[in-house]
A and B are shown apart, each in its own frame.
Chain A
């Protein structure tokens, strides 16, 4: 299993109260598997994705990613080495062109120079944006921005891709195109993909659907 979470509990403090957002979740994803993570608003799915993405640490339980247990010492390294993110708001750097956005992510992963540029161009081409590679994000449509974001996640061969509502800001047709492209690229390169979504279309590309309700995985 490329990613596993065992008895993950997450608590937050709100005022004087402790609120348990995740209540002991066990979860795993195989290499090449696509999992849709669904649930109503406030169910804890984004919090769970943040823990899987080593952005948050669980209050209790453990997460093992690509053979490394996530803790305070390993979080940054795991994010750099093993994870690729796609965000609902795209989160592209507005001052960088499409290809530079991808190349910068590689630089952060300590891939530099011509190799980084070649890899960035390869993935930009893979998401169908070769002719838009030198455009700034402001000059791209929503779908194109999300493709750049996907290219950024794919760059560097991270074995696990995590996506948070990747179609939320796209219209239906573009959303479907982006999902299909995402699925094809993930499958082709045998990467695990976890997609947090409200969008029923995601079910069509997923191998499995997991539903979080009230901080627990529903059966």
Chain B
């Protein structure tokens, strides 16, 4: 055991320590919230793709993302079904439709329509109602998040979609899209009948489930051969493509990078400034360390340890603040996704940030003249 001058000196001035930690915490919170919101939005952008139990997606040519679908003949599904290695293939319609609300307003909804939702794990979180009832009439299931746009509703209520009165027979939870338009789930034929001009005889996707042991690339190649004017994606490719569209087309990614950069910059400036001021105030002590036989490395170790301590406490405080904000953010219908990998990355970033900030002080102490200890 050695005397821990770094820690004792850091904690000796509690106010300065608090300011340093606050600087780091601010940067950490900003990064967590910005990246967490970004990941939350990205999560929404591909959440249905990741939940639907399809290994391959057949889309119309050059479809940019799952929300902005284009139609193609629904009969293509038969060509897919006949390919060896395909266990099941079904049509899926994803389409925006208007909903007339009781107050006279018109809102949008993103319709997912299939003949047999249950076989595709869709919807995956049904809070009320039965999917099998969808085929029995003018019914639909809607996500709970619709209440924000549509106002309060309950199972058993009616809403008008594209001019037809439909009954709400179920409610899902956490089914969202990047556009924040509420998701509704309809029977496939009902969706086509609501918008016959666009959808009659047409679908927007063919979902493909492979037979056990089937080779994905072989099946995909055969689908491409039989449907030369369509695209075929694996689930991961399609999810990535859908996310990338929003990142690239909206500047969301750039916005996140700029905010993260600014957050880190503010953190570095605050930490560098407080560490530097602290170093200047303790310059005589560092001179003493040198005079009694210490070298620059001894002083670097003190500053480095102080920076690391500030990073650890700052990270902890910042993480607590970010986690505390999650319910608030959830309350405004946004998701703050903080995976363990992000936490590890931000922690390492905080350490690097603080050590970088300490570098400025390193330069100062390297030039300390130990003779200053003799000055009165």
Contact = CB atoms under 8 A, between A and B. Distances in A.
A53 interface: yes
Contacts of B241: none
B376 A80 contact: no
B9 interface: yes
A85 interface: yes
B1 A96 contact: no
Contacts of B292: 79-80, 84-85, 105, 108-109, 152
B303 to A, nearest CB: 15
B288 A93 contact: yes
B293 A55 contact: no
A91 B3 contact: no
A91 B293 contact: no
B374 to A, nearest CB: 5
Contacts of B295: 76
Nearest to A109: B293
A96 B3 contact: yes
Interface string A134-154: 000000000000000000100
A107 B8 CA distance: 15
Interface residues of A, number: 37
Interface in A70-84: 76, 79-81, 83-84
A157 interface: no
Interface string B3-30: 1010011011000000000000000000
Given A91-B373, A108-B298, A79 B12 contact: no
B349 interface: no
B288 A76 contact: no
Contact of A91 (B5, B288, B294): B288
B371 interface: yes
A56 interface: yes
A121 interface: no
B61 to A, nearest CB: 70
A94 B376 CA distance: 17
B162 interface: no
Contacts of B11: 95
Contact of A79 (B1, B9, B293, B374): B293
Contact of B371 (A55, A93, A109): A55
B129 interface: no
A116 interface: yes
Given A76-B293, A108-B292, A108-B298, A87 B374 contact: yes
B256 interface: no
B376 A89 contact: yes
A4 interface: no
Nearest to A102: B3
A215 B249 CA distance: 76
A88 interface: yes
Interface in A86-123: 87-89, 91, 93-96, 100, 103-105, 107-109, 112-114, 116-117
B53 interface: no
Interface centre among B11, B289, B292 (most CB of A within 10 A): B292
B291 A107 contact: no
B367 interface: no
B371 A103 contact: no
B284 to A, nearest CB: 6
A108 B292 CA distance: 7
Among A50, A103, A114, the most chain B Cβ lie within 10 Å of the Cβ of A50
A143 B268 CA distance: 42
A164 interface: yes
B160 to A, nearest CB: 73
B3 A100 contact: yes
B374 A50 contact: yes
Nearest to B11: A95
A181 B151 CA distance: 87
A105 B3 CA distance: 9
A131 to B, nearest CB: 20
Contact of A93 (B285, B373, B374): B285
Residue among A80, A83, A95 with max Cβ neighbours from chain B (10 Å): A95
B2 interface: yes
B374 A104 contact: no
A211 interface: no
Q: Which of B2, B12, B284 has the most C-beta atoms of chain A within 10 angstroms of its own C-beta?
A: B2
Interface in A150-184: 152, 164-165, 168
Contacts of B9: 93, 95
A152 B285 CA distance: 14
A49 interface: yes
Given A91-B285, A96-B5, 11 more contacts: A49-B374, A76-B295, A80-B294, A84-B292, A85-B291, A91-B291, A91-B373, A93-B5, A103-B3, A108-B293, A108-B298
Which 8 A-B residue pairings sit nearest by Cβ, starting from the closest? A80-B293, A95-B12, A104-B3, A95-B8, A91-B288, A107-B2, A79-B293, A95-B9
28 contacts: A50-B371, A50-B374, A55-B290, A76-B290, A76-B293, A79-B291, A79-B293, A80-B293, A83-B293, A85-B292, A87-B374, A88-B376, A89-B284, A89-B373, A89-B376, A91-B284, A91-B285, A93-B285, A95-B9, A95-B12, A96-B3, A96-B8, A104-B3, A109-B292, A112-B1, A116-B2, A117-B1, A164-B374
